[in-house]
């Protein structure tokens, strides 16, 4: 099982390096937008979106936002209300080019929502339409020449983790960090989260 | 395409007969519980549940409850908070025996929620634990000897629509009728529903 | 509960009238495409799509296609493979204008898939890009002037069922009829469907 | 944003330590069961299950199994067929006590499926019924006295990451390592995965 151990080392090493490369002003703007949304909780909603595994990471983040007391929804689920001005959209796409996510984010922008893009590419269509961009490094699925960003970090030639894995796992840990920061800013304890956590779930 | 036309005739005929057999006191108790939940909207939640196609019917109902202004959630989706005393559970199961639904409804009962069961079998495990049972006829998936209820209605020997189809389609139309009744009781217009209806959806 | 009973009468009456208005050549082309896909089962897949309640109807149809032995997937679920030439897409949208569905159907067309559109509007963007259009009447959510089609059927001025309800319920019953037709064409009994039906499900 | 940085350090440190504590014989049995399932691909299916965020991790794993060519399904999604003898169930639960998951795993065992449990607690109900247990450390949601396992690893008194976060993120990375090991054992390149990866997705 050499490959398994090498792969988990690669992934953990990547996440660790990647998180050190986060741009503090970007992260700071994201946290402030989330904090502000909470303060105006009765008026404001959050809609998360992402395709494939990025969509699952978006949902894992949304679940914790729910536990913090947010009015939060995930694109693709049954129970999603209309959104409007000042509502927040968190769109996750490593490449920033996933067609349905760009289309959905554009639609959200058109109704006045504020868009936060979590992506590896600040020049991507998703990033360009976003109000706040948080660059999260990843070896994304798009063309190899755009891939050097990830390789640069680790100095590797043949990464083991396939497709979007490094981006997705890094985004997962980063967003779990965002939750901890919000807990402290909003004065929430683990006990508070537990009270909202589903008691009947699948 | 004879079979298609015969089948849709059978289904429409079944729905029509089945809806005439609804027990008015049962339906009335369900409507009142839903109305009361709305009036205490800030405190109370609704959790819908159902397996397979019954789960999809439950979600279709939940979507309209959302449009009416309810705080409503569907078991199996990402964003489900804890529920508690006085919250409402709407559990849909033709046979009333679907294992995970009975288990989930029991758990909900244990935390004090009020259970509404939509089922063809008032003696089923789900119905027995429910606070309110609404019998909706259907040719359910369980053993043939229990099947006579549905056959009785239509006087048929070999229904065309397979498995739970007749129950599911009847439940769908019945619950859409419940929505219209609630609209009028809560003073909601179609315009009100439109305002909450997702403007970005999949 | 007058409104409930009036509403279910309206819905059943609408479904019944609407199904009589189905265009037999359209339905026939749809059935043949599905039958052909089954015969080439090892090579061909079906992807269903729809937003909101139309998406739930699409999933209810997909579940039965699975029971018939198809390789079938639903947009928005986790487990969706790539599709390509000769694969079939079934896209459901009353208005034929739901943005994400039109975008997804276009993407499917670009990779060579054959598109079946289930819609009330044969001139809509979805219908125009489809290979096969099946018109299913409905009082859709779009502008009132396009609404007369549904009113014409029933001669009503103020339909009770809100938003897309009439389209969705009619599409549900129509697609259940399609399943019965396919059962007979493919020589499948209810017992065959039961064997594939999930034994552990939520 | 001190808390964010401390939290991501804690999470990355935890994942790294936890993965070193994996029991090689357990992981080896899991990999072999998965490899064998692939070799008998036409006959055998995999059903993944997990509640809440563990369910999202299960789905992220399932998506990659699909890309590898497996017939894989996720409990709670629409398109799930029956499973039977020799089919594989991968059940993820930090506590090993999540009611609906234990109930579903029992049902799977009763129809002859082989159960792989990913859990922090080898004495939990889920682990006891499983054929293969892979212990993945985590600071799970259950009672504090059982919590020392996680604390022992890091020597911490008040972990920052709330609820099941450490288990979920560790399981995510571990299962991504399993995918890389399987890629090499099954002779799959990233290009092979890309061919199956959804080209139309949300």
Q: Which parts of D21-91 fold into alpha helices (H)?
A: 24-39, 52-68
Residues of A in contact with C104 (CB under 8 A): 100
D66 interaction partners in chain C (CB closer than 8 Å) = 79, 81
Kindly state the average pLDDT of the residues C104-127: 98
Partner residue opposite A80 with nearest CB, options B76, B107, B198: B198
Q: What is the mean pLDDT of residues C124-134?
A: 98
Chain D residues within 8 A of C62 when measuring between CB atoms: 78-79
Lowest-pLDDT choice from A50-59, B34-43, B94-103, C13-22? B34-43
Q: State whether B76 and D78 contact (CB < 8 Å).
A: no
**Residue C54 above 80 pLDDT?**
yes
> Which of the residues B168, B181, B190, B191 is marked catalytic?
B168
E-state strands within D3-120? 46-50, 72-74, 88-92, 114-119
Residue numbers in A near D163 (CB within 8 A): 67, 190, 193-194, 197
Structure tokens at D48: 């993944």
pLDDT tens digits along A107-129: 999 999 999 999 999 999 999 99
At residue C145, the pLDDT reads 43
3-state secondary structure (DSSP) of residue B3: helix
Q: What value does the mean pLDDT take over residues B45-68?
A: 98
Closest A-chain CA to D3: A181
Return the percentage of chain D with pLDDT > 70, whole number: 89
Q: For the domain with range C21-184, which CATH number is right: 1.20.210.10, 3.40.50.2300, 3.40.50.410, 3.40.50.10490?
A: 3.40.50.10490
pLDDT band for C202, please (50, 70, 90 cuts): confident
Count the alpha carbons within 13 Å of B46 in the hemisphere toward its beta carbon: 28
Q: Spell out the alpha helix ranges (H) of C122-201.
A: 125-129, 148-154, 165-185, 190-196
Partner-chain residue, chosen from C63, C66, C200, that has the shortest CB–CB distance to D75: C200
Q: Which listed residue (C135, C146, C168, C201) is catalytic?
A: C168
Tens digits of residue pLDDT in D115-141: 999 999 999 999 999 999 999 999 855
Strand ranges across the sheet with C72-74? C72-74, C46-50, C88-92, C114-119, C132-135
Whether the per-residue pLDDT at B156 is higher than 70: the answer is no
Flag whether pLDDT at B43 surpasses 90. no
- Separation CA B110–CA B93 (nearest Å): 19
The pair of structure tokens assigned to C104 is: 């997804």
Convert the pLDDT of each residue in B77-102 to its tens digit: 999 999 999 899 999 999 999 999 99
Find, among A16, A184, B46, A201, the residue nearest to D141 by Cα. A201
* Domain boundaries of chain C, sorted by first residue: 21-184
Mean pLDDT calculated for residue range C11-39: 96
Residue of D nearest to C71 (CA): D79
**What confidence tier does A201 reach under pLDDT thresholds 50, 70, 90?**
confident
pLDDT at C152: 55
- Cβ–Cβ gap D104/B104 under 8 Å: no
State yes or no: is C168 an active-site residue: yes
Residue A178: which of A123, A126, A116, A125 has the closest Cα? A116
Q: How confident is the model at residue C40 (pLDDT cuts 50, 70, 90)?
A: confident
CB B202 within 8 A of CB D202: yes
- Entry field: residues in chain B: 202
Mean pLDDT of chain B: 92
**Six-digit token string for D54:** 């563990």
**Partners of residue B202 in chain D, C-beta under 8 Å:** 202
Mean pLDDT along residues D30-39? 96
State yes or no: pLDDT of B149 exceeds 80: no
pLDDT of amino acid B139 = 81
Which of C89, C105, C108 shows the shortest CA–CA distance to C97? C105
Task: Supply the mean pLDDT for chain A.
Answer: 92
Tell me what the mean pLDDT of segment A126-155 comes to.
72
Which of A124-160 are b and which e, b meaning 16 or more Cβ less than 10 Å from the residue's Cβ?
Answer: bbbbebbebbbbbbbbbbbeeeebebbeebbeeeebb
Q: Confidence class of residue C7 from pLDDT cuts 50, 70 and 90?
A: very high
| CB A106, CB A185: distance < 8 Å | no
Which pLDDT belongs to residue A158? 58
pLDDT at B135 over 60: yes
Would you tell me which residues 127-166 of chain C have a C-beta closer than 8 angstroms to some C-beta of chain B? 141, 160-163, 165
Q: Does residue B144 surpass a pLDDT of 90? A: no
In the block, tokens 């080392």 appear at A9
Question: Which residues, numbered 4 to 63 in chain D, qualify as contacts with chain C under a Cβ-Cβ cut-off of 8 Å?
Answer: 47, 59, 62-63
Closest chain B CA to residue A68? B81
Q: How far is C74 from chain A (nearest CA, A)?
A: 11
**Per the CB < 8 Å rule, is D103 touching B107?**
no
**Chain C neighbors (3+ CB pairs < 8 Å):** A, B, D
| CA–CA separation, D130 and A60 (whole Å) | 26
What are the chain A neighbours of D181 within 8 Å (beta carbons)?
1, 3-4, 7
> pLDDT, tens digit, for every residue of A83-103?
999 899 999 999 999 999 999
**Res B146: pLDDT:** 47
- Please tell me the predicted confidence (pLDDT) of residue B10: 95
Q: Which are the catalytic amino acids of D? A: 168
pLDDT at D156 exceeding the cut of 60: no
Alpha-carbon distances of A86 from A90, A185, B96, C105, rounded to whole Å: 13, 20, 44, 31
The DSSP secondary-structure symbol of C123 reads T
* Interface test mutation site (partner D, options A17, A56, A74, A164, max chain D beta carbons within 10 A): A56
Cα–Cα distance between A175 and A46 in angstroms, integer? 15
Which residues 70-99 of C are in CB contact (within 8 Å) with B? 75-76, 98-99
The average confidence (pLDDT) of chain D is 92
Flag whether pLDDT at A56 surpasses 50: yes
What pTM does this model have? Answer: 0.94
Please tell me which residue of chain B has the smallest CA distance to A192: B82
Count of CB pairs separated by less than 8 Å, A with B: 82
Beta strands in B51-92 (DSSP E): 72-74, 88-92
- Res. A141: pLDDT tops 70: no
How high is the pLDDT of residue D143?
43
**What is residue A77's DSSP assignment?**
S
């Amino acid at each position: 099982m050499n490959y398994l151990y090498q792969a988990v080392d690669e992934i953990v090493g990547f996440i660790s390096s990647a998180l050190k490369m986060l741009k503090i002003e970007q992260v700071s703007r994201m946290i402030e937008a989330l904090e502000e949304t909470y303060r105006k909780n009765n008026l404001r909603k959050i809609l998360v979106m992402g395709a494939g595994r990025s969509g699952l990471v978006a949902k894992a983040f949304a679940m914790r936002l729910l536990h913090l007391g947010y009015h939060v929804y995930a694109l693709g689920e049954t129970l999603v209300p209309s959104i409007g001005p000042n509502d927040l959209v968190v769109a996750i796409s490593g490449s920033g080019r996933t067609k349905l996510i760009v289309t959905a984010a554009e639609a959200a922008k058109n109704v006045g929502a504020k868009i936060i893009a979590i992506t590896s590419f600040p020049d991507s269509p998703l990033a360009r339409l976003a109000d706040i961009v948080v660059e999260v490094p990843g070896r994304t699925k798009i063309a190899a020449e755009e891939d050097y960003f990830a390789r640069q970090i680790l100095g590797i030639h043949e990464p083991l983790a396939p497709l979007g894995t490094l981006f997705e796992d890094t985004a997962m840990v980063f967003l779990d960090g965002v939750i901890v920061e919000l807990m402290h800013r909003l004065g929430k304890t683990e006990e508070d989260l537990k009270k909202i956590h589903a008691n009947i779930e699948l």
